[in-house]
Amino acid sequence: MLLNSYPLLVSEDMVFRSKQATMQNSISVMVYSLSGLDRLTEENVSTAMAVVEDTELSRILVTNSAGKVLYDTRETGSAVGSYVLYTEIVQALTGSDAFSCAYHNGAFRSRGSSPVLYHNQIIGAVYAYEYDTEQAALLDGLQENLLRLSGMIGVAVLVLSMMLSRVLTQKISKLLNAIRQVREGAYSHRTRIAGRDEIAQLGEEFNSLTDRLQKTEDARRRFVSDASHELKTPLAAIRLLTDSILQTDDIDPVTTREFVADIGREAERLSRITEDLLRLTRLDSGVLERAAVVDVLPVLEQVLRMMSLVAQEKGAELTYEAAEGCFVMATRDEIHQVIYNLVDNAIKHSGGAAVQVELSMEDGAVVLSVSDNGPGIPEDDISRIFERFYRVDKARSRAAGGTGLGLAIVRDTVERRGGTVQAANRSGGGAVFTVRWRAVTEEGDVV
């Protein structure tokens, strides 16, 4: 619309201006040639006008001060002798110039007038009228061209935007379809959107999201099946033992006691597993107790005091070397749990050898290392021992009272507070677990 109307309005205006200029020019020439006359009569006006008559104009009228026509260029239907009171003439007779121009029905109609003065007295008026179809035809042509051009642009824009919207909607519906599939549980579904635009990037992001979703889902499935298996084993043992007691006639009290003691051990194992599972679920939920500054040394000493009896029982030698002033942001229970699990593992898996605990500060970190000189961890298993329910030797771990969750709890607990834990084998034999927490000052400021 702008393309069609603005240039036309501007060119129309330009034509109006040029018409006004040329018409006023012609009129002033006529007025000038009449200005020497003291009175206007048909004769003297005709004589004066014969010299200046402008052939460009369609009609010229000269009236006297009363509006009576003295001169008319139109031959048929000449207005000479009659009174003509066109607006322009009336305006000229009151002393001012007038001009009007209109574009209508393919023609410019311009009207202009000026008073004729003699000694500052209005003695008449000159009126000119022009009917121009030539410039109007040019304007029409321009309008037609513009219309054609904007029509072409309109069609091109329409076609292009339809193509673009089709491409976009195709991509979006592909993404939508992928989202729906994943929502229904098809986590392996991946979408492939061509291009490098935002929708293609969205597709890639969606794929990596689905990747993670699939991994989490796989881990969840594995965890549920492992957990139910772990819970099933002691339950099956309990069932077996109770059945044996119930179905054996004349069972002697010593065997009964043994069986009941076994049932007690299995029940204890069940409660250990459920406790560990609960601990992991709490860690998974992401709800953390508010961290406070914890001095690691007293916690370490408390755990070691507690564990020394167990170590003694197993014939393991438990020693430690610890620096003072090791503060971390966590909770006392968390630090206790981590040290307990690692020392417990070292005693359990070292098979009665020496267990050494070290606590030190290194490059702004509090480092806790628990090492033993047992058989160590097979290299292939090192990367997996922190997984839930992963054990190198299932039977041995069970026999030692392990749940397979101890190291998973250690890793989750430490990582939740921004720390790290690593397992390695010592060159002289045995395993070493190293935990690093970010060290803080006693006031809780970063070191």
**Per-residue CA distances from 332 to 45, 160, 275 (Å):** 121, 67, 18
The pair phi, psi for residue 261, each rounded to 5°, is -65, -40
Identify the residue among 280, 316, 346, 440 touching ligand ADP (CB under 6 A). 346
Please identify, using beta-carbon distances, which residue of 42 and 317 lies nearer to ligand ADP: 317
Q: How far is the CB of 385 from ligand ADP (least distance, A)?
A: 4
> Which residues from 36-65 bind ligand ADP, rule CB under 6 A?
none
Q: How far is the CB of 336 from ligand ADP (least distance, A)?
A: 16
Q: Which amino acid appears at position 159 of this protein?
A: V
Please identify, using beta-carbon distances, which residue of 329 and 347 lies nearer to ligand ADP: 347
Q: Is 234 in the site for ligand ADP (CB under 6 A)?
A: no
Token pair belonging to 428:
């002289």
Please identify, using beta-carbon distances, which residue of 80 and 382 lies nearer to ligand ADP: 382
Taking the C-alpha atoms of residue 291 and residue 334, their distance in angstroms, rounded to an integer, is 10
Pairing of strands 365-372, 431-440: antiparallel
Q: How far is the CB of 334 from ligand ADP (least distance, A)?
A: 16
CA dihedral over 157, 158, 164, 168, signed as positive or negative: positive
> Which residues from 362-381 bind ligand ADP, rule CB under 6 A?
372, 374, 376-377
Please identify, using beta-carbon distances, which residue of 62 and 346 lies nearer to ligand ADP: 346
DSSP 3-state of 308: helix
- The 387-416 contact track toward ligand ADP, x by CB under 6 A, reads ---xxxx---x----xxxxxxx--------
In sequence order, the β-bridge partners of residue 69 are 63
Please identify, using beta-carbon distances, which residue of 61 and 338 lies nearer to ligand ADP: 338
Degrees, nearest 5: CA angle 328-332-338: 85
Q: Which amino acid appears at position 208 of this protein?
A: S
Helices 2-34 and 42-52 pack at an angle, to 10 degrees, of 120
Token pair belonging to 82:
């009659």
- The 306-345 contact track toward ligand ADP, x by CB under 6 A, reads ---------------------------------------x
Please identify, using beta-carbon distances, which residue of 113 and 350 lies nearer to ligand ADP: 350
| Interface contacts to ligand ADP, rule CB under 6 A | 345-346, 349, 372, 374, 376-377, 385, 390-393, 397, 402-408, 431
